[in-house]
Copies of this chain bind each other. A is one copy, B any other.
């Protein structure tokens, strides 16, 4: 029997408790060992749950109980959670978390502590909710040099964009609907301004390319105020509009990474990822493109990924999983605005001739007083400088994903 503890009894934490208690036989069979949920740490009182006897308000109950071999952190944030996780790892307890903020900020440091203590620090649920993606990258694609990761990493913004695309809803209406359905917070900025997706691309890039990428190294643009007319124009150009996280190896030991509004050919698998679904596409030298698709959030999908990590910890109490990356450095991530990519630009139709005179334009589409261009590969900072030179201030830029 292995004792485990859960820190935090919110959406994910309560989902983990339910799965551990309700799937006891299945999990015991798979772990070849019985899982005993011994403590749940939460400052709140929960009297109406069948496992009310397991609650504690004192973290030391968990930390100082040597029988607790695996601690599940679902509290969120990178302050208390960081202290708790670090203390557990230093005490020789394996830790599983769904906390993307923590892993994006402190992953390398915590992985190093886990390695030094010959235990595991696993966080499959921190990216893509229940979608298996970190373990497949670390294990199944191990014979590849990975070169690029592209994904729809935030279900809330994908839901909003899907409502705009499919139902012609305005941004503000789609956002309200997402809030009403519980997909978006009352303060939706972490989602719609791209910060949530930025944390996830940090974790993916850190794992795939071996060196920590920190959230403040990710150029992040969201979809706040996205225009329905722009989405329609992108569609006329053959593209679907998405909020995309991307990280790419540049060679010479550097990468670039960004979260930005983007357009993708309608035939691409990423374009078919709708509503709250996420997708992560990984490019490797041998494998080509592979993609992982599913619900990127939600109580049970996320909790099931956490529990799968717990099973793995229990099966490897005395053996480390080779999940690891090094500390990063401030010159590792190149500003994507200085790297040549393909872009789609939308501006007032009156600027059409000026734009055509300045840029190598491949496709053009005009509609309702707006004009959209796709440009040959160019650095966004050059693009912006040229637009300024032309005296054009009102325009929107979409990265073209290939």
Interface string of A332-344 (1 = CB under 8 A from B): 0000000000000
How close is A288's CB to chain B, nearest CB, in angstroms?
5
Q: Which of A286-333 contact B (CB under 8 A)?
A: 286-295, 298, 300-301, 303-308, 311-312, 315, 319, 322
Main secondary structure of the interface of A (DSSP, over half): mixed
A227: shortest Cβ distance to chain B, in Å? 23
Contacts of A130 in B (CB 8 A): 286-288, 290
Instruction: Give the chain B neighbours of A311 by CB distance below 8 A.
Output: 139, 142-143
Q: Determine which of B132, B143, B304, B315 lies in contact with A27 in the assembled complex, contact meaning CB atoms within 8 Å.
A: B143
Instruction: Give which listed residue, B124, B267, B304, contacts A272 with CB less than 8 A.
Output: B267
* A136 sits at the interface (CB 8 A): yes
Query: In the complex the two chains form, is A19's CB within 8 Å of B272's CB?
Result: no
How many interface residues does chain A have, given as a range? Answer: 35 or more
Does A145 lie within 8 Å of B26, measured CB to CB?
yes
**Among the listed B136, B273, B300, B312, which residue makes an inter-chain contact with A287, where contact means beta carbons less than 8 Å apart?**
B300
- In the bound assembly, the distance between CA atoms of A143 and B32 in angstroms comes to 14
Residue pair A30, B287 in contact (C-beta under 8 Å)? no
Q: Which of A129-183 contact B (CB under 8 A)?
A: 130-132, 135-136, 139-145
Residues of B within 8 A of A315 (CB): 322
Interface residue? A268 (CB, 8 A): yes
Q: Is A269 an interface residue (CB 8 A)?
A: yes
Nearest chain B CB to A34 CB, angstrom units? 15
Q: Which residues of chain B are within 8 angstroms of A287 by Cβ–Cβ distance?
A: 130, 294-295, 300-301, 304-305
If A272-B272, A286-B303 are given as contacts, then 18 extra A-B residue pairs at C-beta distance below 8 Å, sorted by A number, are A19-B286, A26-B145, A130-B287, A131-B290, A132-B132, A136-B136, A136-B140, A139-B308, A143-B303, A143-B304, A143-B307, A144-B304, A269-B269, A284-B304, A287-B300, A288-B301, A292-B292, A315-B322
A to B CB contacts below 8 Å, 21 in the list: A19-B286, A23-B143, A27-B142, A27-B143, A124-B140, A130-B288, A132-B132, A132-B290, A135-B136, A136-B136, A136-B140, A142-B308, A143-B306, A143-B307, A268-B272, A271-B272, A272-B272, A286-B303, A287-B295, A291-B292, A319-B319
Interface residues of A (CB under 8 A from B): 19, 23, 26-27, 30, 32, 124, 130-132, 135-136, 139-145, 267-269, 271-274, 277, 284-295, 298, 300-301, 303-308, 311-312, 315, 319, 322
4 cross-chain pairs, A with B, having the tightest CB-CB distances, nearest first: A132-B140, A290-B294, A286-B304, A143-B307
